[in-house]
Amino acid sequence: MQTIFLAALIWAWALTPESLVFVDKGGGLSGLAMIAYLGFGCILAMLCSSVIHDRRLKDTGKVSDYEVLLRMYGRLVSISLVFGGRVPLLLLASTGMLVTAGFAFNEIYLYWFPNFLFASLLLGAIGLINLFKEKYALFLQLVSAVLVFAALLILILHGGGGNGLAGSGTAPAAGRGFDLSLLVLGFISFLGFDFHRSTGETRVVFFSLVSVFGLLSLWVWLMVGHVAADTLATVDVAYMFAARSVAGEEGRYVMGAAVIGGVVCGVNGLFIVVRRCFEDIARELHGRYGRHHNSVMVGIFVLIIEIMMLGGVAGEGVLRLQIRASIVLWLCYLLSRVIAGGHLLRQKRCRKGWLGYGLAPLLVLMALVLVFQRGGWHYLIEFVAVIVAATVLLSFAWMKVAERLKEKRL
């Protein structure tokens, strides 16, 4: 049973509307070639996972990502890496996704129900579940992931081979050639393969990645067959066009369930991951992590997301840039883990350590492409710099508070 919970956590990002937008845009720009880009992304995710989750990284018992980073970079850098790589994605991506769920519920199911009220209620429900034991949040993760899988498969099976729209003049031009930015989109569609903290679970990770690759490949096939290429490449809710095309009004209802379920899957998964990271750091700094610590952490993050939603952040175009910046920070965090894993494996005279060193330049290249591939890179770099500075200051402050508390206890 633990295996299926682990798979649902790995699927957390891949099943979100944000991930579908990436895949749809790739399908609009390259057609069915996007499946090849997804295949590359899946293989790269497997290789990274094989390094960061290698069982030889643990000496006794289980080892957390933070403990691996701690051995390599020291306390301040490790805490800063965890903060920067996890928290911005939780706050920014969750804000955007929750508003998407609110609009979906309002426009598909109940027109009279305020969309921001639904988003707030959904956030409150996810936050409330995460206040209790982790098993309840994991159960919600599994239910939401299965819902999205089922909804998308229903539309894929209903859609069949498509109606030939993508074969018209709006199809991607033949011979577009290799596109590095689509390679990056293919990889970040699998963001989440590093969301679990156990080592020696590579078979489960590989199964999870292959299964979601199969689903997303079929989804590309459906979208290319039913939605014009220019619509796929430019419209963020192109999946609604496909749902209506293959199943009419009923298709919209099914897609609405997939969107809301995907938001729950993504936001809840991010809460679980950040909760685990804070638990690992708190146990190392304070020697314990009680329920009240978790309640404070969840409460603060729920409040921040709620304030951003009420403040209209999700309605501003800058949020897209900020989410992109948070993904760049995630890539940097993944880069640090791959380097640390490779270095520690080399210390154990394991040949796989060289793989970690080999993957590092590729991850750096992807981060650079994500920064410079579109407009707004000046703002993105400034935003990343502010986040890095803030995370270092917060990490330093937490360390000092922990030291003071230890001195008082002594």
Tokens of 196: 């679990």
User: 275-323: per-residue pLDDT in tens?
Assistant: 888 888 888 887 776 667 778 889 999 999 999 988 877 666 788 899 9
Give the pLDDT of residue 265. Answer: 95
Comparing C-alpha atoms, which of 289, 315, 170 is closest to residue 230?
170
| Structural domain includes residue 151 | yes
| Structural domain includes residue 265 | yes
Number of domains in the chain: 1
d(CA 269, CA 404): 33
| Structural domain includes residue 408 | no
Give the pLDDT of residue 314. Answer: 67
Tokens of 389: 């500075």
| Structural domain includes residue 409 | no
| Structural domain includes residue 405 | no
| Structural domain includes residue 28 | yes
Give the pLDDT of residue 339. Answer: 93
State the 10-residue block means of pLDDT for the chain, 410 residues long: 79 91 89 93 92 74 75 91 93 93 91 90 95 90 94 88 45 60 91 71 83 94 88 85 86 93 95 89 77 82 92 76 93 93 86 87 93 85 94 92 78
Those residues with Cβ within 8 angstroms of residue 286's Cβ, 6 or more apart along the chain or in another chain: 402, 405
Give the pLDDT of residue 148. Answer: 95
| Structural domain includes residue 407 | no
Comparing C-alpha atoms, which of 118, 159, 125, 116 is closest to residue 144?
125
Comparing C-alpha atoms, which of 227, 98, 90 is closest to residue 159?
227
Give the pLDDT of residue 166. Answer: 44
CATH number at residue 191: 1.20.1740.10
Q: Could you give the angle at the alpha carbon of 67 between the alpha carbons of 410 and 4, nearest 5°?
A: 125
Give the pLDDT of residue 168. Answer: 42
Comparing C-alpha atoms, which of 83, 82, 93 is closest to residue 123?
93
User: 106-155: per-residue pLDDT in tens?
Assistant: 999 988 888 889 999 999 999 999 998 888 999 999 999 999 999 999 99
**Domain limits at 29?**
2-400
Other CB atoms within a 10 A radius of the CB of residue 56 amount to 14
| Structural domain includes residue 212 | yes
d(CA 160, CA 211): 19
Helix axis angle, 353-372 to 34-52, nearest 10°? 130
Comparing C-alpha atoms, which of 263, 276, 257, 259 is closest to residue 305?
263
